[in-house]
């Protein structure tokens, strides 16, 4: 597995188009690999995420992939062709180093959603039953992450089992709408920043390779870790 990142030049029209449409950016990421490249398998899959600085002065595209990418076309259209390219690192040393009990700082952009089995609204609407609906409040989004953490081999530091709420920031909560397949797609997304403890090394390694939740093709599910400072 490889982890890569490249800056996007938000002053350029093509960069603004990519940022505004997860479908377009998904297509651009896909074109970073030749037709025969491995895109998804037991060893990992292509995942990507946009990171925006708090000051709003920089935007980075992060990609995790089974094979090394070539972002030349993205740099030419939406980057700084004469000044900046991209960075690629072998991700395997970090993944294979994962062990139970380790603590990491993390970032995740996800699609916190659930399938509706019963209409609990004030006004009956049977049309929603069976559909996938996004969680729209920060509390529900955080609860979604807590539920998914156990099956993915980690626990949020400061979680309820330690007697208080998790020390996790939920930000950039958005409802994105874009064209896809001749129709409109609505996607609820949120960014999670916090600290975690590995509870199952194998499950967490799989999480780093395969991502979390739905909408992975549209920039969700990529969880990255860094040493706690």
% of residues, the chain, pLDDT over 90? 64
Q: Residue 138 pLDDT > 90, yes or no?
A: no
Answer whether residue 120 shows pLDDT above 60: no
Can you give the residue ranges of every domain in the chain?
Answer: 2-95, 98-226
Rounded to an integer, the average pLDDT of 161-171 is: 69
Tell me, letter by letter, the H, E, C secondary structure of 192-223.
EEEEEEECCHHHHHHHHHHCCCCCHHHCCCCE
Fold (CATH) for 98-226 = Alpha-Beta Plaits (3.30.70)
For the chain, give percent helix, strand, coil, nearest 5: 30, 35, 40
98-226 shares the fold of 2-95: yes
- The token pair at 49 is 């995420």
| Least confident interval from 21-35, 146-160, 202-216 | 146-160
Where does the pLDDT of residue 158 fall: very low under 50, low under 70, confident under 90, or very high at 90 and above? Answer: confident
Counting DSSP H helices and E strands in the chain, the numbers are: 6, 13
Where is average pLDDT lowest: 36-45, 63-72, 190-199, 214-223?
A: 36-45
As given in the structure block, the two tokens for residue 205 are 């390694």
Q: What is the signed CA dihedral for 136, 21, 172, 105, rounded to 10 degrees?
A: 110
Instruction: Output 124 or 104, whichever has higher pLDDT.
Output: 104
Q: pLDDT-derived band of residue 117, with 50, 70 and 90 as boundaries?
A: very low
| Predicted pLDDT at 88 | 98
The C-alpha atoms of residue 97 and residue 95 are separated, in whole angstroms, by 5
Give the up-direction half-sphere exposure of residue 210: CA atoms within 13 A in the CB hemisphere: 15
Residue bearing the bigger pLDDT, 181 or 53: 53
Pick the CATH number of 2-95 from 3.40.50.150, 3.30.70.1200, 3.40.250.10, 3.30.1490.190: 3.30.70.1200
DSSP H helices, the chain, are 13-20, 22-30, 72-78, 92-97, 138-151, 201-210
Mean pLDDT, residues 22-30 = 95
Work out the pLDDT band at 54, boundaries 50, 70, 90.
Answer: confident
């Amino acid at each position: 597995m490889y982890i890569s990142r490249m800056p996007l030049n938000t002053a350029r029209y093509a960069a603004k188009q990519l940022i505004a449409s997860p479908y377009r950016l998904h297509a651009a990421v896909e074109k970073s690999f030749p037709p025969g490249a491995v895109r998804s398998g037991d060893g990992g899959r292509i995942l990507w995420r946009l990171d925006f600085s708090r000051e709003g002065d920089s935007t980075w595209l992060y990609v995790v992939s089974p094979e090394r990418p070539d972002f030349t076309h993205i740099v030419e259209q939406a980057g700084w062709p004469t000044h900046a390219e991209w960075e690629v690192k072998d991700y395997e040393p970090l993944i294979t180093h994962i062990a139970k009990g380790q603590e990491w700082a993390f970032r995740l952009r996800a699609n916190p959603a659930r399938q509706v089995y019963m209409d609990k609204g004030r006004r009956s609407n049977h049309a929603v039953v069976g559909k996938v609906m996004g969680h729209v409040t920060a509390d529900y989004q955080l609860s979604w992450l807590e539920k998914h953490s156990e099956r993915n081999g980690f626990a949020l530091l400061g979680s309820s089992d330690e007697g208080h709420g998790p020390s996790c920031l939920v930000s950039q909560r958005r409802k994105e709408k874009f064209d896809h397949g001749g129709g409109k797609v609505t996607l609820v997304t949120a960014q999670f920043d916090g600290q975690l403890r590995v509870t199952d090394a194998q499950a967490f390694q799989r999480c780093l390779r395969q991502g979390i939740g739905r909408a992975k093709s549209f920039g969700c599910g990529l969880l990255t870790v860094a040493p706690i400072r």
